[in-house]
Amino acid sequence: MNLKNNKITVGELLDYAPAKAVFQKRFPMVLRHPMLGAARTVTLEQVIAVAGAYIPKKTIEDTLNELRKV
């Protein structure tokens, strides 16, 4: 999948079933978060910037690599 230099939006990722499956497998609680709908316009780059404070860098890199393969 083309992540558009991490400028792809959360909405675009979630609308593509294989990418959504990656998030479902790795971060199932995120897909149940009540603010997910509001995050649809947030870019992957923005998510990575915030997630870096909570999620190990290796996990983020592994997720990005998996998304690139779908």
Tell me the pLDDT tens digit for each residue of 13-54: 999 999 999 999 999 999 999 999 999 999 999 999 999 999
What is the model's pTM? Answer: 0.91
Torsion of CA 15, 19, 25, 26, to 10 degrees: -110
How many CA atoms lie within 13 Å of 37's alpha carbon, on the beta-carbon side? Answer: 1
Q: Domain map of the chain by residue range?
A: 4-69
Residue 1 near residue 19, CB atoms below 8 Å: yes
Return d(Cα 52, Cα 41) in angstroms, integer.
19
